[in-house]
Amino acid sequence: MNNRHLTLALAASLASTLALSAIPASAQDANMEKCYGVALKGLNDCKAGKHDCAHMSKVNYDKASFKLVPAGTCTKLRTPKGHGSLTPA
């Protein structure tokens, strides 16, 4: 795994979180989409596969776990295991 890719993924995730903290929840829901395969271990947003709660994924880039991202950006996100997906694997 390339440390540069991991650093960029973490930085993008943090930047998204900080940017969205200033937006009201109702606006967040309308401008967000579920992106599968991009969440790092323990940083998924909700139910996936064998668990029902956020922050419970056991592996990085689990194709069954999603992370909420700004609408229109999911398939552009690139990880060491490929691009994000709008559907679970």
Helix (H) or strand (E) holding 68: strand 66-70
Is 89 among the domain residues?
no
Q: In total, how many domains does the chain have?
A: 1
What does pTM read for this prediction?
0.62
Query: How wide is the angle at C-alpha 86 spanned by C-alphas 37 and 26, nearest 5°?
Result: 105
pLDDT (tens, 9 = 90+) of the chain, 89 residues, equals: 566 666 666 656 655 665 555 555 555 567 999 999 999 888 888 766 666 677 778 889 988 888 999 999 999 999 999 999 999 88
Cα separation values, 62 from 22, 46, 51, 80, Å: 28, 12, 12, 12
What domain range includes position 64? 3-83
Residue 37 lies in a domain: yes
